[in-house]
Structure formats: C-alpha cells, structure tokens
C-alpha cells in the first residue's frame, strides 16, 4: 500500500510517500494512523491533533473510519487552503 | 468544458470566451478569477500551491456536478493552478452558465466557497521574511457551512 503526504505534513515527515504493509489488524484509516504513529515518532508528533489531518482513499476524500481493505493509495494531508 | 488543474498560466478572458461557445439557451454567465494578492503590508513574491491532482479532479468534478444540480445550471467548470505563481497571476477561475443571473451568481459562489475547503490545494507564501504555509481560516469553514 502506498501512503502519500502533502504540504506541511510532507515537510515535517521529510518524505512525500512511502510503501507500507500494515498487519491484518489494521482495518481503518484511523487504525493506520495509529499503526504509523507507533512505528515513527515524527509521524506521531505530526498527527497529534487528529482533527487537523484529512485523508483520502484511492483519490477519494474519506473520513478516518473508512476501511482500508483493498486500497492502493492512502493520502494524509492538512486542511486545504486553495482558491 | 471539463474541470482542469494545471501548472500553466491561463488567460481568464480566453477561458471565458471558450466557455461561452456552449451558451445556447443561456441568459447569464458568471466568471470569478482569484489572483495572487500582494500588498505593502503583506508582500508576497511567490505563492506556491501544492496539489494532489487526482483527488483535485475528483473533488472539483463532484462540486461542479453538485452545483449544476442545485442551481439548475446549464454548464459550470473550474480551472485551478498549482506550482509557483507570482503576484497578480490568476490562481483559480470559476465559470457558471444559466438561464438567469441569480442561479449563475449562486452557483459560482457555491463553487468558490466549497473548493476552498474541499479541494486538495495548499498555499505556501514567500515574501521578504521567508516562507510559510497559509493556515485554514474559520471564515472559509463558515462560508462552506452555509451550503450544507
């Protein structure tokens, strides 16, 4: 599974993407955030305020309780500021 | 005209004229163009917009489809830049076409209010004192909330 990061989240993690293989117990995007935070202190710090982290599954904006089974790309990013 | 995200500078007048080609039966067109703003108090030399293009196309098309249904528009589209932009350059253009002006104005306002919070673009301003990410504004959330 590919993970994408954008904007200040990408900068704080010093990477725009990574490949991960979460265990079967990781069912949702919220679980994935917890799992990534457990293995990476920088990630845990960056996502400490979960309400500031938005997510997408295969280029569709989704809430954190969305299942990840079958997903190819999960993206994490801060609130949008376009327009 | 499909929604578009692009690193290329666009010409708002030419885009409007191209959009009007399909204006059969329309009585009103509204176009809004957002520009990179630089003022003496908050000088901006470069505005860099980061984008997630695949998600941006999906989100903008969803918003355009929603606007078209809500306001019975004849057509609507959005063009949004990303990459490095200079002061005064166009960032975004929203265009709506309808039988009457009220729907065209409302549709354009809906699209701007929703894309600011729902489309994956992030602004980083660079000025004489360095660069910073533009924070999300509560005003934008309030503007978005009135369309729910």
Residue-by-residue pLDDT tens, chain A, 83 positions: 999 999 999 999 999 999 999 999 999 999 999 999 999 999 999 999 998 999 999 999 999 999 999 999 999 999 999 99
Chain B residue with minimal CA distance to A5? B52
| Chain A partners within 8 Å of B134 (Cβ) | 81
3-state secondary structure of A5: strand
DSSP 8-state code for residue A17: E
Global ipTM: 0.94
Residue located via tokens 């000025």? B127
Picking from A59, A79, A80, the nearest residue to B58 by CB comes out as A59
C-alpha separations of A2 from A61, B48, B94, B118 in Å: 16, 25, 33, 22
| Chain A partners within 8 Å of B137 (Cβ) | 81
């Amino acid at each position: 599974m590919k993970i994408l990061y954008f904007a200040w989240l990408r900068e704080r993690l010093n990477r725009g993407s990574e490949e991960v293989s979460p265990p079967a117990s990781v069912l949702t995007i919220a679980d994935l955030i917890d799992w990534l935070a457990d293995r990476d202190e920088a990630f845990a710090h960056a996502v400490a305020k979960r309400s500031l982290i938005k997510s997408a599954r295969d280029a569709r904006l989704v809430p954190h309780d969305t299942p990840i089974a079958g997903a190819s790309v999960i993206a994490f990013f801060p609130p949008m500021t376009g327009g | 005209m499909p929604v578009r995200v692009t690193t290329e500078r666009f010409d708002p007048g030419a885009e409007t004229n191209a959009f009007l080609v399909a204006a059969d039966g329309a009585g009103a067109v509204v176009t809004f163009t957002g520009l990179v703003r630089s003022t003496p108090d908050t000088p901006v030399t470069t505005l860099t917009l980061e984008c997630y293009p695949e998600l941006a196309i999906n989100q903008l098309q969803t918003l355009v489809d929603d606007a078209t249904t809500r306001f019975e528009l004849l057509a609507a589209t959005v063009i949004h830049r990303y990459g490095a932009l200079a002061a005064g350059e166009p960032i975004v253009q929203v265009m709506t076409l309808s039988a009457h002006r009220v729907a065209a104005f409302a549709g354009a306002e809906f699209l701007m209010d929703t894309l600011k919070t729902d489309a994956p673009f992030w602004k980083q301003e660079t000025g004489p004192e360095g660069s910073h990410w533009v924070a999300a504004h509560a005003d934008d959330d309030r503007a978005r909330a009135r369309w729910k």
